[in-house]
Amino acid sequence: MERAVPLAVPLGQTEVFQALQRLHMTIFSQSVSPCGKFLAAGNNYGQIAIFSLASGLWVELGNSVLHFSLAHDGPVYSMVSTDRHLLSAGDGEVKAWLWAEMLKKGCKELWHRQPPYRTSLEVPEINALLLVPKENSLILAGGDCQLHTMDLETGTFTRVLRGHTDYIHCLALRERSPEVLSGGEDGAVRLWDLRTAKEVQTIEVYKHEECSRPHNGRWIGCLATDSDWMVCGGGPALTLWHLRSSTPTTVFPIRAPQKHVTFYQDLILSAGQGRCVNQWQLSGELKAQVPGSSPGLLSLSLNQQPAAPECKVLTAAGNSCRVDVFTNLGYRAFSLSF
């Protein structure tokens, strides 16, 4: 039999395919390099792109754009950076890349690890990564409703924290104490003591009348901490809490569910459904809404690396192929694009 000869794909068809990919792209995650001059962004196609924050252009080697077309087989849901590595997470595994090598063409992963799931057939998404610098560990959480701790020195998984009854969306670290907060689809924010590997506090946000929005659901999609304070949101309203008393102190007047939140100086920054990055006073007053180019936002990244003060920017990404760059909090300066 004669061997079938594959038909060549016309150049125009390839361009159409790439345009359709960009049209339906979602950027789930971002992470700034240790030097502060570069930004990694991960999308729903498993690609990780490296951008130059200094020039506002793609990092290039020769005439080719640096990107990883198949860094993961599925979406890149979360990323964090250590002083040497970029860690990225997708469906069921976390991978490590050397930042020093990522600016070169053909960079390969340094290692990959898969948490000890209940069965070999289970491949849950990893929605959140969190570094714990004091113990040189990484916490992973997602679709299996558990928090897994990995020792970054040895690559071994050292503990599993169980308590959530549905998948986990977000993590936050209380830096002054060895405690981690997690929020998920079950509507609870759980506080874990890393010394004892036990749950020490639970806040079921949706059960508080001032926070509850049953039409949006009970899920917690974002949270952040600052000492004894926590801010969280999702289905319930974006709310500032005093952790010691488990008391909601400020409910922020925004209807759209929020997907990312962070403390910044004396403000709270949030983003979610809609184009705007919201700037809140702790009292609940909306200071500003700064529009971006994406119809919805999933992640914010504040570059505060002291090594690159000229690259001190806020970046926002979500339901488009663009990463918006804010050189100050008042306006979008430019956008980076896949």
Identify the bridge partners of residue 198 per DSSP, sorted by sequence position: 193
Measured distance CA(75)–CA(29) in Å, rounded: 10
What is the edge-to-edge ordering of all strands in the sheet holding 276-281?
Answer: 258-264, 267-272, 276-281, 286-291
Q: How far is CA 32 from the centre of its chain?
A: 12
**Greater model confidence, 302 or 104:** 302
Domain annotation for the chain: domains and CATH numbers? 25-74+264-337 (no CATH), 115-251 (2.130.10.10)
Residue 10: which residues within 8 A CB-CB, separation 6 or more?
none
The pLDDT score that the predictor gives to residue 67 is 61
> What count of residues does the chain have?
338
Q: Which of 83, 84, 88, 74 is nearest to 41 (CA)?
A: 88
**In 10 A of CB 144, how many CB atoms?**
23
What is the distance between the alpha carbons of residues 284 and 128, in angstroms, rounded to a whole number? 27
Lowest-pLDDT choice from 128-142, 143-157, 183-197, 324-338: 324-338
Q: How many CB atoms lie within 10 A of CB 283?
A: 9
Task: Give residue for tokens 């209380």.
Answer: 174
d(CA 237, CA 218): 10
Bridge-based pairing state of the strands 60-61 and 276-281? unpaired
Distance CA 128, CA 171 (A): 6
- pLDDT on residue 9: 47
Looking at the predicted structure, is the pLDDT value of residue 59 above 70?
A: no
**Enclosing H/E stretch for 229:** strand 229-234
Radius of gyration of the chain (CA): 20
| Arithmetic mean of pLDDT, 203-208 | 96
Q: Identify the band that residue 156 occupies on the pLDDT scale cut at 50, 70 and 90.
A: very high
Contact criterion met (CB below 8 Å) for 78 and 87? no
Share of the chain above pLDDT 70, in %: 92
pLDDT at 164: 97
- Among 40-54, 79-93, 144-158, 287-301, the range scoring the smallest mean pLDDT is 40-54
Taking residue 295's Cβ as centre, other Cβ atoms within 10 Å add up to 11
Whole-number average pLDDT of the chain:
90
Distance (Å, whole) CA 284 – CA 211: 13
* Averaged pLDDT, 245-267: 96
Confidence check: pLDDT of 251 > 80: yes
Report helix, strand or coil for 201: strand
Distance of alpha carbon 159 from alpha carbon 301, whole angstroms: 28
Residue 201 CB contacts under 8 Å (≥ 6 apart), including other chains: 190, 191, 243, 246
**Tokens at 87, concatenated:** 């860690």
Q: What is the pLDDT of residue 105?
A: 74
- Structure-token pair, residue 14: 């390839």
